Amino acid sequence: MKKASLIKMAAFLAASFAIQLSGAKAALAETAEANYALYCVQCHGSAGTGKGINAPYLAVAPRNHTSDKDMSSLTDDGIALAIKEGGAAVSKSTQMPAWKSVLTDAEIKDLVAHLRKMCKCSFKKP
């Protein structure tokens, strides 16, 4: 093979690899927001106020993720447990599903951080 062809092939492969890496980084950067939009908004609403499209049909109102008062009473571990194991695991609504078979532990941790941004709060001991 000619030297020029090898150089062109190497440049093409390097460019392809760089494009794949940049796409993966972009996808990781939006994981929490994308997961919230995909799995949470139906009940909690796109603004996180607990007024999603399914909320009127639930026996228990979904939590308002923008409420400093409500969210600051919850530990990050408690929020993660509710997401992972469902509402019953934290003595809340059984209508909150467990997401452990859908979300990884890392995605759940990122989702907890996203919820903290939504409420602009952190856990406060009573």
The full set of domains in the chain, from first to last, is 30-119 (1.10.760.10)
Interval 32-59: pLDDT, tens: 999 999 999 999 999 999 999 999 999 9
**Is the pLDDT at 91 greater than 50, yes or no?**
yes
Other C-beta atoms closer than 10 Å to the C-beta of 124 total 11
**Is the pLDDT at 118 greater than 60, yes or no?**
yes
pLDDT at 30: 65
The conformation of residue 72, written as its DSSP 8-state character, comes to: T
Tokens encoding 121: 């709060």
Helix H or strand E encompassing 112: helix 105-119
pLDDT at 124: 86
Q: Report d(CA 122, CA 108) in Å as an integer.
A: 16
Q: How confident is the model at residue 4 (pLDDT cuts 50, 70, 90)?
A: low
Q: Report d(CA 20, CA 49) in Å as an integer.
A: 36
If one compares 28 and 124, the residue with the highest pLDDT of the two is: 124
CA 27, 32, 38, 41: dihedral to nearest 10 degrees? -150
Q: Report d(CA 45, CA 43) in Å as an integer.
A: 6
pLDDT at 90: 95
pLDDT at 120: 94
Question: What are the two backbone dihedrals, phi and then psi, of residue 19, each rounded to the nearest 5 degrees?
Answer: -65, -40
